[in-house]
Amino acid sequence: AQKVTQAQTEISVVEKEDVTLDCVYETRDTTYYLFWYKQPPSGELVFLIRRNSFDEQNEISGRYSWNFQKSTSSFNFTITASQVVDSAVYFCALTAGGRGGADGLTFGKGTHLIIQP
Amino acid sequence: KAGVTQTPRYLIKTRGQQVTLSCSPISGHRSVSWYQQTPGQGLQFLFEYFSETQRNKGNFPGRFSGRQFSNSRSEMNVSTLELGDSALYLCASSLGGEGSGTEAFFGQGTRLTVV
C-alpha cells in the first residue's frame, strides 16, 4: 500500500520568510510519480509540480523549489521569500506509474500554510 | 483552454436521497478521477474512468458509483445518502494513456451537504 505523510499540520510565518513543507512517502513500486498541489480557500486543487521516480534532479520555479531524495523517500517543497498569496493548504501526493493514472492519487493530510503580513 | 468543470458547485440533500454530480474534463483528456475530501479523512480516491471504462475503484461502499460518456464527461452518483457523505467532491482529468505521466488537473469541486 502507498502512503504519504505530511507531518506539519499547520505552519505560520511572517511574509518574506522562507518556508519548507515536508513530505515523506512509502511505496513498493519502482516507477511512481510525486506531486504537489495547492488548495486555496476556493477549493480547487492547483497543480504545482510532478516528479517521476527516475528523476532526482531538484527543480526551481521562481520562488518555489523542490528537493526529491529517494534515499530518504522525501519530496520537500520550499517557498522562498513567502508572500501572503502563498497562504493555502498544500498537498503532497503519490501514484504508481505505468497505468496512466488509473491507480489514482494517494494524498497526504496537507499542510496549512499561513503567511502573515 | 477550458479547465475542468464541475456542476453543481453546491448541493443540499436529505438523508436517504440520491445525488448525481457532473464533471467535464479538459478537452482531449480521456481519464476522469473522482475524490472525496472531508476534514477527518482528507482526500480519498473514489474511482477512475478511461474511455468509458472504470479502471480502478477506491475503498468506498457500492452506494458510490460513476460512469463516463463517449465525450469523456463523467458523472458520479451517490444513493441512499448518509450524513457522513457530506464532503467536497473533486474531479480530476488527465490524458490517461499508458505511460502518459498522470498529470491530473482538478475542478473546483461540488460541495455536498446532507441534512
DSSP B33-94: EEEEEETTTEEEEEEEEETTEEEEE-S--TTEEEEE-TTS-EEEEE-S--GGG-EEEEEEEE
Per-window interface: B 58-97 vs A, CB < 8 A: 58, 88, 90, 92, 94-97
DSSP A28: S
Residue B38 has pLDDT above 70, yes or no: yes
Q: What mean pLDDT is reported for chain B?
A: 93
- Give dist(CA B85, CA A3) in Å, integer: 23
Q: Is B15 helix (H, G, I), strand (E, B) or coil?
A: coil
Q: Is A66 helix (H, G, I), strand (E, B) or coil?
A: strand
Please name which of B12, B19, B22 lies closest in space to residue B108, comparing C-alpha atoms: B22
* Per-residue pLDDT at A104: 85
pLDDT band at B100 (very low <50, low <70, confident <90, very high): low
DSSP A70: G
Task: Tell me whether residue A75 is exposed, middle or buried, using C-beta atoms within 10 angstroms of its C-beta: 0 to 12, 13 to 18, 19 or more.
Answer: buried
Residue A114 has pLDDT above 80, yes or no: yes
Mean of pLDDT values over B26-40 = 94
pLDDT per position as a tens digit, A53-96: 988 888 888 999 999 999 999 999 999 999 999 999 999 999 88
Please name which of B98, B104, B19, B111 lies closest in space to residue B66, comparing C-alpha atoms: B19
Which of A52, A53, A105, A106 to mutate against chain B (most B CBs within 10 Å)?
A105
What are the Cα distances from residue A14, in Å, to A11, A77, A89? 10, 17, 16
pLDDT per position as a tens digit, A33-57: 999 999 998 889 999 998 889 888 8
Q: Is A84 helix (H, G, I), strand (E, B) or coil?
A: helix
pLDDT band at A112 (very low <50, low <70, confident <90, very high): very high
CA of A84, closest CA in chain B: separation in Å?
Answer: 21
B51 touching A (Cβ < 8 Å): no
CB nearest A110 (choices: B31, B42, B47) = B42
* Per-residue pLDDT at A52: 87
